[in-house]
Structures are given as structure tokens and as C-alpha cells.
Amino acid sequence: MAVTVRIPTTLRPLSGGNATVSVEGATLAEVLKNLDASHPGFSDRLLDDNGALRKFVNVFVSDDDVRYLDGLNTAVPAGETVSIIPAVAGG
């Protein structure tokens, strides 16, 4: 099941400068694992030491924030888009 992963500008050096990459996976955990396998370094930037999503990273499947779904167990249908969006803070 190929899905498209949108890569934010700050992480594009890890994807060879690509704004999107195609990877396989039926769940978000599988997608991120395969993303890191084909483009090493993503796991270190997206996951904490316990394997959970870092607090400053937002991940969406379609337009839905995975924190309000099943987290890393969120299903990712074939052809869907996963968007990685770094949190922005300021005042």
C-alpha cells in the first residue's frame, strides 16, 4: 500500500530535498518505519526515546491529526497522504 508523505522544508535534507516521498505502510507506524528505512534519520527527528511521536511534531493522515485518532496505530489507506508538520510557537 503506497502512501505519499509530505516532508516539511526543515526535514527535506533527509529526503534528498524531496517535498514528497512515496512509501509503503498500512499504519502510521509502518509508514514512518519505512520512511526511515529509505531515508535514514526521520525516526530520530519524529520519535522520542520511547518510540512515541515527539511533542513538537504534528502528523496528519489526510486532514486528521493522528493525536486525535489512534496515534501511531492510525490506519493509512493506500493512496492517502501523510503530512508531517513541525509545531510552530511564538507570540
Residue 38 is part of a domain; what is its CATH number? Answer: 3.10.20.30
pTM over 0.95? The answer is no
| pLDDT of res. 15 | 97
* Dist CA 52 CA 3 (whole Å): 21
* Residue 91 domain flag: no
Eight-class DSSP state of 54: P
Contact between 2 and 8 under an 8 Å Cβ cutoff? The reply is no
* Residue 17 domain flag: yes
| Residues in CB range of 32: below 8 A, 6 or more apart | 25, 42, 43, 46, 47, 72
Q: How many domains does the chain have?
A: 1
| pLDDT tens for the 91 residues of the chain, in order | 699 999 999 999 999 999 999 999 999 999 999 999 999 999 999 999 999 999 999 999 999 999 999 999 999 999 999 999 988 766 6
Range of the domain at 38: 2-86
| pLDDT of res. 91 | 60
* Residue 42 domain flag: yes
* Residue 31 domain flag: yes
* Dist CA 49 CA 62 (whole Å): 26
